Amino acid sequence: MNAHQHAAPRVSLVTGANKGIGLETVRRLVAQGGTVYLAARDTARGQAAAAEVGARFVQLDSRDDASVSAAVDVVEAEQGHLDVLVNNAGITGPLRDPHDYIADDLAEVLETNVVGYVRVFHAFLPLLEQSAEPCVVNVSSGIGSFGLFHDLDRVEATAGTPLYGASKAAINMLTVRYARLLPGVRMNVADPGMTATDLSGQRGHSVTDGTDAILHFITDSTDTGAYRDRDGHLPW
């Protein structure tokens, strides 16, 4: 373990960060003293959110190669490296009677929640590899856990959202595979739990509680290829 292990992150970028889990993650990273890029699709909302928490705004739509490439160019020009990437941008997708889902519903969810994460990660990987201690946190969900699905005492066992759950299970597998293939990059999966945001209809615990696992992986952990919520490690 070197001297930087528990130091405040120097340069971080959080996607989908103009509200909810993303915005709270940015706020907490700014409070640690790092340079933090708040990345969001909507420029007006993103700029307002960044001004509110003292972050730098960068426009980024994880579904668009040109947008992601332009964001990489900004960080490269201004910083030359990236220490922390938090892949957070995601959607629930349509909630329908299970008879009524169509293939395009799943395509939309996977494009944002899975393909978007991979697009952003690969675009920023060269800058991450310029860091002494690159760290990637992929924000997922306990709804993507087979272990929790089979635990009937857990809310994750009774949740519907098959499309969202499938997208998060995909993120979990991608994360552990990349973590093993790229041992120089710490990469982990954070489950915010049921957090009171627009995504959950404002049900659940506070956004601060919801970001505890993300911050743990960034500042208090040497793990890679791990999966946890604020209370500890989770079954896959």
Name the residues annotated as catalytic. Answer: 164
Cβ 88 vs Cβ 21: under 8 Å: yes
| Amino acid type, 64 | D
Instruction: Indicate the length of the chain as a whole number.
Output: 236
Instruction: Residue 203: count other Cβ atoms within 10 Å of its Cβ.
Output: 10
